[in-house]
Amino acid sequence: MTINHTIEKVILFNDIIGSTKQWNKYGNRMFKEIERVTTIVNNLLKKTNGVLIKMVGDSYMIAFDDILDSIVFAVKFDDKLNNTKTLLDKRLLFRTGIYYGKVIEKHMKIQKCIMKDFFGSVVNIASRIESKVSDENSIAIGIKTRKILTDVLNFLIDKKYKYEIIDFEKACKKHTLKNNITSKKFLASRHIHERCKSLKNLKGVAKDITVLKIMKK
């Protein structure tokens, strides 16, 4: 039995940085650390209305109904890893990518269990934003409308995070960034030319979205 329908979702990818080296170095300890981190993920999702869909390699794919819930999860996840004892020599570091829109929800029956997954361009874009735009312990969010951008910026007021706004289409023409929303917390990128080189990997997505990148102060 397979059931498909289209719904609105926020998709978040959280990926471990340098996982291959970590697996080679720690072996079984890495398995146990992943189990510990996954428990943290599941506990936080109960409080932020998110659902862990699956792990893709060392990346968590998570779905939310609200973009602010996804940001709260990402921030609390980072704080939790900083304030709990790792089983390794140092805590795992993650990149985070978020995007939202219409996805294809598929329910499949596998060995008497109903499995749910999401497919479509929104999922692919969220994954690319994570891998091509996000940096160590940063949250990169693809935003399509000024209203959503304003909502997120209002949410960030008085939070202990700084941000940069990356308008790829404009920035890659001039290699400069300008903030038309507010100048209060804007951080200009020194490496915009490097981000422009990644445009081909985003397969045209950059013309349709602005990326808001959130980082700790």
**Enclosing H/E stretch for 67:** helix 67-82
Residue 84 has what pLDDT? 93
Residue 150 has what pLDDT? 87
Residue 100 has what pLDDT? 94
| Mean pLDDT across 42-64 | 92
What are the pLDDT digits (tens) for 156-177?
887 778 888 876 666 555 544 3
Residue 63 to residue 59: CA distance in whole angstroms: 13
With contact defined as beta carbons under 8 Å apart, do 130 and 13 qualify? yes
Torsion of CA 165, 120, 136, 68, to 10 degrees: 60
**pLDDT confidence bin for 205, thresholds 50/70/90:** low
Q: Is 186 a residue whose pLDDT tops 50? A: no
Residues in CB range of 153: below 8 A, 6 or more apart: 163, 181, 182, 212
Residue 5 has what pLDDT? 82
* Better pLDDT: 177 or 25: 25
Beta bridge partners, 9, equal: 101
Residue 197 has what pLDDT? 53
Identity (one letter) of the amino acid at 85? K
Residue 165 to residue 131: CA distance in whole angstroms: 17
* Better pLDDT: 82 or 135: 82
CATH of segment(s) 2-216:
3.30.70.1230
* Better pLDDT: 115 or 53: 53
Residue 48 to residue 45: CA distance in whole angstroms: 5
CB atoms within 10 A of CB 198: 15
**pLDDT confidence bin for 190, thresholds 50/70/90:** very low
Give the tokens for residue 60.
Answer: 């968590």
Reduced to 3 states (helix: H, G, I; strand: E, B; else coil), residue 35 is helix
Residues in CB range of 175: below 8 A, 6 or more apart: 192, 193, 196
Domain assignments of the chain as residue spans, ordered by start: 2-216
| Mean pLDDT across 85-97 | 92
Q: Is 113 a residue whose pLDDT tops 60? A: yes
Residues in CB range of 93: below 8 A, 6 or more apart: 16, 17, 18, 136, 137
Residue 209 has what pLDDT? 73
